[in-house]
Amino acid sequence: MEIKKLKTTGLELTEAIENYVREKIGMLEKFLQHIGLPQSARIEIGKTSEHHKKGKIFFAEVNLELPHRLLRATADSEDLYKAIDLVRKEMEREILKFTGAFKDTRRAAEGVAKQLKNFSPLALSIKDLPKRKKK
C-alpha cells in the first residue's frame, strides 16, 4: 500500500511516529490483496487544538483511495499511539464491509450462473429462475 501523504497538525513528526504509522496502516494491505485493486492512503495525525488540557486530545484520520471508492476512518484518543491503533481498527472494519459486499455480489452471480447452466435455453422462463433469498 502506498502512503501518498502523511500530514501532522499541531505536533512534530518524529521518525518513531512515522514508523509506527507506516507499520500499523501497512497492516491493512493484507485485507485488500485478494481484490487486486491499486490502493493509496492519505493519513493525518495531530492534536485537536493547543488549548485542550484533558479529554480526547489526539486524532488520527485515514483516507484510503480505491478505484471508484474512498474509504475513510477517524479516531480520537488521549494518547497519539492509541488513536493510531483505533483508526487502524476502524479502517479494517470499513475494508471488511467493502470487501464483504464485493464478495456477496460475486457469490450471488456465481450461484445464479451455476443454476442456469443446468437449464436448457429453450426450457427457461421467468418462473424457472432461482429466487433470491431476502436477508
User: Which tens digits make up the pLDDT trace of 44-78?
Assistant: 999 887 666 666 789 999 999 887 789 999 999 98
Q: Which residues of 50-82 are buried (b: 16+ CB within 10 A; e: fewer)?
A: eeeeeeebbbbbbbbbeeeeebebebbbeebbe
CA-CA distances (angstroms) from residue 127 to 84, 105, 107, 113, 131? 53, 22, 22, 16, 9
Q: Domain tally for the chain?
A: 1
> Is residue 130 in a domain?
no
46 assigned to some structural domain: yes
Q: Is the pLDDT of residue 79 over 80?
A: yes
pLDDT of residue 107: 63
Q: Containing domain of residue 77, as a range? A: 2-120
Whether 132 is covered by a domain: the verdict is no
* CATH assignment of the domain containing 107: 3.30.160.100
Residue 127 lies in a domain: no
Alpha-carbon distance 10 to 93, whole Å? Answer: 28
Would residue 26 count as lying in a domain?
A: yes
| Domain assignment of residue 75, yes or no | yes
- Residue 131 included in any domain: no
From 22-26, 31-35, 77-81, 90-94, the region with the lowest mean pLDDT: 31-35
Could you tell me if residue 128 is inside a domain?
no
Question: Of 128 and 4, which is predicted with more confidence?
Answer: 4
